[in-house]
Amino acid sequence: MLPATEKFVSDLKGKSFELVACDYAERGYHFEIDLEAARLREFAQCMLEQEMYLVFVGGLHVNPAIEIIYQFASYERPCRLVLRVTVDGNNAIPTISDIYQGANWHERETRDFYGVNFIDHPNLIPLILAEEDVDLKPLLKKGDDLKESAALRWVTEKEQPETDEKADKD
C-alpha cells in the first residue's frame, strides 16, 4: 500500500471507521465499509476532506432492508471505496447532496426506483419517473425474489465454505 493510502486508512480508523481491505483485481475497489445511517454524513464529509470524489450512489433491495451503495474514489492515490448503508424502517436516510453536489441526481434516481426518502434533500422530486408514477417503485423485489444481503456479497475462494463437490475434486 502506498504511503498516501496508508495515511488515508489510518485517518479513517482514527475516526472509528472500520475499513475492510479488498483485492482490487477481483472486485474493482480497494476497501469496503458497512456503516450506520447516523454516521453517513460524517463519513461523506470525511471523504470530501480526504479529496475523494463521489462515483455513484445506488440502491439494492435485499432482506432485511434496502441498502444504499456509495462508491468514492481518488485522483491523487489509487484508492476506491464502497460504502453500504442500510435504510431505516421508515425507508429514510440522510442526504449527502449538500456535501457532494453530484449526489443530488443519484439520490433522486434512487428515490424513484426504491422509494427511499433522503432526509433534508433540497429537491427530492421525481427525476426519471413521471409525477403520476410516484408510487411506482420498479426495482423493489417481491417475496421470494428478495435475497439475503450476505448472499449478494463478494466471497473469495478462501472464504468459500467447502462443499462436497469441492472436496471430491481434491
Q: Which grid coordinates belong to 129? A: 419517473
**Positions of the chain with pLDDT under 70:** 134, 138, 154-170
The count of other CB atoms within 10 Å of the CB of residue 119 is 14
- In the chain, how many domains are there? 1
Q: Write out pLDDT tens, residues 50-88.
A: 999 999 999 998 888 899 999 999 998 889 999 999 998
Domain that holds residue 62: 3-169
Q: For residue 127, what are the contacts with CB-CB under 8 A and spacing of at least 6? A: 105, 108, 109, 111, 112
pTM: 0.84
| CATH code for the domain in which residue 71 is found | 3.30.460.80
